[in-house]
Amino acid sequence: MSDGSHKREWRFYIDDMIGFARKVQSYTDGLEQQSFISNDLIYDTVLRNLELIGKAATRVPNDIRLKHTEVPWRMIIAPRNRLAHAYLGIDDVTIWSIIQDNIPELQETLEKINAVNSRVGTRMESRVPRLVDMSMHVLSWYTIYGERIWSETR
């Protein structure tokens, strides 16, 4: 995830959220609530990914949030703030409920948003070939430049 120092396409934050949701489900797959709570490594890792889901949600622009009311943006961001700042402690029952009930549904909803937006197309998709061409040009330039320097010093 970006530190916000440059403008990032909102869809990348949706991708981040999907990835973090997948990790949460993967880390807790097959676990019972008590096993989850008693395993500090898994518990801390899952809490961090829940926090990152909320952080990515804060980066999705307001106009996109208003367009996609099927996503409970405030309900995603609020737990992130509690986790990040440890407001009033963390309720394990609530966390487990979020993992079991909300995360799978959230992931499915976000994947639908991605599917719709990939069919519609955006400005970013039209820029991808140009960015690839530019990066290949830079790579070629460095390769040529590097070879020229090497052959001149040989």
The answer to whether the CB of 60 falls within 8 A of the CB of 66 is no
The answer to whether the CB of 26 falls within 8 A of the CB of 111 is no
The answer to whether the CB of 13 falls within 8 A of the CB of 60 is yes
Higher pLDDT: 77 or 122? It is: 77
The answer to whether the CB of 54 falls within 8 A of the CB of 81 is yes
> Quick one: pLDDT at residue 141?
38
> How does the average pLDDT of the chain come out, rounded?
79
Q: Tell me, what amino acid is at 88?
A: L
Distance CA(40)–CA(91), nearest Å, equals 15
pTM of the model: 0.71
Q: Would you say how long the chain is, in residues?
A: 154
The answer to whether the CB of 82 falls within 8 A of the CB of 51 is no
Tell me the per-residue pLDDT of 90-135, one tens digit each, with 9 for 90 and over: 789 989 999 999 999 999 999 999 998 876 654 444 444 444 444 4
Distance CA(34)–CA(88), nearest Å, equals 21
Span of 6-10, 79-83, 127-131 with lowest mean pLDDT: 127-131
